[in-house]
Amino acid sequence: MPRAAITGWGMYVPERVLSNDDLSRMVDTNDEWIVSRTGIRERRIAESTDTVTSTSTASARLACEKANLDPAELDLIVVGTFTADQYMPSIACQVQNQIGARRAAAFDLNAACTSFVLSLIHI
């Protein structure tokens, strides 16, 4: 029986930070109020050039690096999202091309908030 393994993981967070103190200069709130109700201390703000494809590609590169894996060795790329940049080609196929995972099968799984969990189930 074929087996799948997650050997590395990657993530992307934008560099620009909006802290609660920054937010309190825009609206009537403060750090203590926000943290006590939400636990949030900062949020990351994407640049206008950031796309689901570019952030997914950055995440995939980091995952391969952490796993010490050449992207050409990948068998499968699954992107779980409901916010694609476009319908065709799929984000997974664009990531596949951009990282050089030529032999990997690639598809998007579009299931709104459950996309991540369903992606894990399908591998």
| Cβ atoms of 14 and 49 closer than 8 Å | no
pTM for this predicted structure: 0.84
- Residues pairing with 18 in the sheet: 43
Distances (CA, A) of 13 to 18, 27, 37, 46: 12, 24, 23, 8
Q: What is the mean pLDDT of the chain?
A: 94
- Identify whether residues 93 and 68 lie together within a single domain: yes
- Best CA proximity match to 105, nearest among 95, 117, 120, 115: 95
In a domain, 21, yes or no: yes
- Identify whether residues 31 and 81 lie together within a single domain: no
- Identify whether residues 38 and 75 lie together within a single domain: no
In a domain, 4, yes or no: no
CA distance 65 to 44: 23
- Identify whether residues 40 and 56 lie together within a single domain: no
- Identify whether residues 21 and 79 lie together within a single domain: no
Mean pLDDT (whole number) for 98-103: 98
- Identify whether residues 60 and 116 lie together within a single domain: yes
- Identify whether residues 89 and 67 lie together within a single domain: yes
- Counting the structural domains of the chain, the total is 2
Confidence (pLDDT) at 1: 67
In a domain, 20, yes or no: yes
Confidence (pLDDT) at 97: 98
Write out pLDDT tens, residues 12-70.
999 999 999 999 999 999 999 999 999 999 999 999 999 999 999 999 999 999 999 99
Domain housing 117: 52-122
CATH code (residue 64): 3.40.47.10
Confidence (pLDDT) at 8: 85
- Identify whether residues 26 and 68 lie together within a single domain: no
Q: Chain-centre distance of CA 40, in angstroms?
A: 20
